[in-house]
Amino acid sequence: DAGITQSPRHKVTETGTPVTLRCHQTENHRYMYWYRQDPGHGLRLIHYSYGVKDTDKGEVSDGYSVSRSKTEDFLLTLESATSSQTSVYFCAISDDSGGNSYNEQFFGPGTRLTVL
Amino acid sequence: DAKTTQPTSMDCAEGRAANLPCNHSTISGNEYVYWYRQIHSQGPQYIIHGLKNNETNEMASLIITEDRKSSTLILPHATLRDTAVYYCIVRARRGTYKYIFGTGTRLKVLA
């Protein structure tokens, strides 16, 4: 399995509180992604990173920010959590280096966030 | 990226082959077909990908029609542990970050 960890794995917080989720990889992959998964919506991309300090928005980025100061870490911050951000958050990585890589994504175990 | 269409759910008897179809009629020439699955609440797991030739690995086989407008993922001898949601995705190999997962096919393997 690809070396991807997420922390925390579970979190309960209150509306208006800032929350930071961490994704850590040991694969030295260039791309990192944050998704959220909600019933009936499948996986939706929040933000992604294509290198250190290089990030861009996905399809549901409002209310979220990200940072990537090192290759191995990608942080997702909810600046002021709302109940609509209650979800399961998945981090993923991929390698776009060509060769034997076909840019398949490898996923972390997920973080279950509840905003009360 | 091309859009895919998959059945919402399927059942398969344990030990039999599970054939999961996917339509991708707007696929472009440089787009690959990728399959992932998600078991219960775990993160999605990569299964297989292909461009135009049939592919096989230790997990599954992928059959892509000659016109590339549809494909079938085959799990040759389904087990209860194959019960999962299966996602078919089409995208270029490089140069794009997008993976549009959709809602997939919920496969239930029956004892």
Read off the amino acid at residue A46.
I
Give the mean pLDDT of B21-46.
91
Report CA A97 to chain centroid distance, whole Å.
Answer: 21
List the single range of A53-67, A91-105, B8-22, B65-79 with lowest mean pLDDT: A91-105
List the single range of A40-49, A91-100, B63-72, B79-88 with lowest mean pLDDT: A91-100
Task: Answer yes or no: is pLDDT of B63 > 90.
Answer: yes
Q: What are the Cα distances from residue B16, in Å, to B11, B12, B74, B78, B93? A: 11, 7, 10, 6, 32
d(CA B88, CA B104): 7
The minimum CA-CA distance between B15 and chain A, rounded to whole Å, is 26
Q: How many CB atoms lie within 10 A of CB A52?
A: 13
The minimum CA-CA distance between A16 and chain B, rounded to whole Å, is 27
Q: Which residues contact B5 (CB under 8 A, 6 or more apart)?
A: B22, B23, B24
Read off the amino acid at residue B22.
C
Whole-number pLDDT of residue B95: 63
d(CA A88, CA A49): 19
**A interface residues, B as partner, C-beta within 8 Å:** 31, 33, 40-45, 48, 50, 56, 88, 90, 92, 96, 98, 102-110, 112
Are the beta carbons of B94 and A96 separated by less than 8 Å? yes
Q: Which residue of A has its CA nearest to B103?
A: A42
In this structure, are residues B84 and B10 in contact, taking their beta carbons and an 8 Å threshold? no
Question: B87 to chain A: which residues are within 8 Å by CB?
Answer: 42
pLDDT band at B94 (very low <50, low <70, confident <90, very high): low
Task: For chain B, give the number of residues.
Answer: 111
Q: How high does pLDDT run on average in chain A?
A: 91
Give the mean pLDDT of B73-77.
97
pLDDT band at A89 (very low <50, low <70, confident <90, very high): very high
